Structure 1
Amino acid sequence: MGPKKKSKASKFARMTEEEKARYLQHRAAIEEEARRRKQELVFTFLKSKFKREEAFARINLAKINQQWRQILRNVKIEEMKKDLEAQKESFWRLISKKDQTIQNLLYSLQEAELQYRRNLHSHICATDRLIGKNLKYSLHSIVFS
């Protein structure tokens, strides 16, 4: 074992008033320096902790924004699907109406062609009868003259 330490009380008792004042002043400076270092250490620790928390906050905010945007995208996708389905139905309804109109027009065209053929046939028959009567009249006038 090492030598025994002398007690501070006996050391302090042997000092003069000036030495005591210097010693107390020195001790106060050492304590003040220790307190300052401790505050710096706490400040540095809190500053690094704050920076770390700030970084985590930015990351978390980015994650929240990303998730929120994904939710909004999904909602928009559903809306667009519904709109697309409605437009698809509307498109097929219009196509159906146009097909029906085309069918009606084709039917009208067939009816018009049939009517034209009947009229043409009637006209040809009438013209033939007229020509036949004129021919008989011409022949009759040649024979009786």
Structure 2
Amino acid sequence: MIAYRTNTRTVVEPPRPNTPTRGVGRPRTDADPHRLNPLLRMAIQRPGPGIAVIDMDGEIDLSTAPRITELIRQRLTAAVLHTLIIDLSRVSFVSSVGVELLLRAQHRAQRRGIELHVVPGARCVRRLLEITGVDQGLNCHDSLEAALARAHR
């Protein structure tokens, strides 16, 4: 604890952790749209009519899953959408919540007649999908370009 006196009172600050936490070193500004949780950034691209790409950069865990779920739900209820691509190639961490999230998205997409494509990337996401066997039930692609080529058919 750090304690110091001002003119009228003693101020006590809580101790600072000695070990770094996730997200340390990433710039955090008030202008950042994801200021509440800087561990995940998402963007939506529309590369063609009826096609949406959700690009994610960061970590998928229990704290970020509600935002991802809501964004996917919004895209899947779009009237003109026929293909949704989820690009996870820049995701640096994924928990089992991410697997559940993808399975639910696949189920919703099938109910609405929308093709769902996933770009897991070459790191942790691909490994988790392979270990759990979920990659067999999803339309997984090695790159965003491959997913887009499949979507334009």
TM-score range, shorter chain: under 0.3
TM-score of the two chains, using structure 2 as the length reference = 0.17
Compare relative contact order (CA 8 Å, sep 6+) and give the higher one, 1 or 2.
Answer: 2
> More helix by proportion, 1 or 2?
1
